[in-house]
Chains A and B, each alone.
Chain A
Amino acid sequence: MSITFEKVSHIYSDGTPYRFVALSDVDLDIIEGQMTAIVGQTGSGKSTLVQHLNGLLLPASGKINVLDHVIEAGSHPKGLKSLRGKVGLVFQFPEYQLFEETVLKDIAFGPKNFGFTEKEAIEKARHAMKLVSLGKEFEEKSPLELSGGQKRRVAIAGILAMDPQVLVLDEPTAGLDPQGTIQMMELFRELNQKHHKTVLIVTHDMEQVFNYCDRVIVMAKGSVHTHTTCEEFFRDSSLCNSLAILPPALIRMKDALKEKGFTIKDEMEDIHELSKEIAREVKHG
């Protein structure tokens, strides 16, 4: 089981003056159980790509394989609903999808749609609330009276309650404060490592890619520009520079040091490793 794209294209408003090719001949192999970042400039096809994963958008040509479901252009795909239960898609600014009277009911909405009984759904909702660290006191509140960050957590919990195997997040931290961003990313890491979920994150933040993700997919003009591991991607900042992407601070620091004559290894996990390298250099030098 894996997620593969074969020559997938998608065209918006085909046959009108507004025709726009959003994806062209995308070949992709997303590795399960890993945390993959999807980066690229606005309009490069990131959002279009992820909406193919649970069959919200269907390809104009090509074939997609997601968890044993095959979506092929031209044929009407079957079992889309069960696919949507397995691939949880969290949209950008998901707080706009809240509609129930209470937080608990809203989170339980997803599981109920996928055939769980009221009781099971509530149980799953409670569990999801715990995951996103929303306390019991929120259960009976109206989702509309919460703060922006809390609403975001309710919306993400609404998807987590469905217990999907694959979690797809379109800019999940946009508009959150730094504290909320870190908590959110830690949650995704935990879901990936402890609960073995495949996580895909659309993001603009290279620090997130560097600190949390295993692999990175760079989209440009509707096709996959680069698909590689994060270590590989950040080893040489010339790739980032050619894509007009600002590398993470750690990489910039390392580059600056090297320019000044330090000999530092290229693979760098975190700030501690860099400081050790610097200390070693200073002692020797």
Chain B
Amino acid sequence: MSLNEPSTAIDDEQRRRIGEAMTQADLALPQVWLHYFSITGTVDEYEIDAYLNRMIALPPTECDKLAHAVNELIDDIPPRPRAPFRDEISP
């Protein structure tokens, strides 16, 4: 983990959007970390927390694993119910 390297614009953008995706989807950190861990994530939950709070940088691979973990969890969220047309309702 690179603690002292200055973060790049890409780092910041990815971090911000991961955080935003989590907030939007109402994903809690423990849940995200567990999933991240299951896809071979190697850093601890508190480090993810620190990363999301812009306190440390993570290696690019870990950032991508985290992003992927978040996306899989978002994919798992059941879609909102849709309104049916009349002929879709069986009598």
Chains A and B form a bound pair: no
* A interface residues with partner B (beta carbon < 8 Å): none
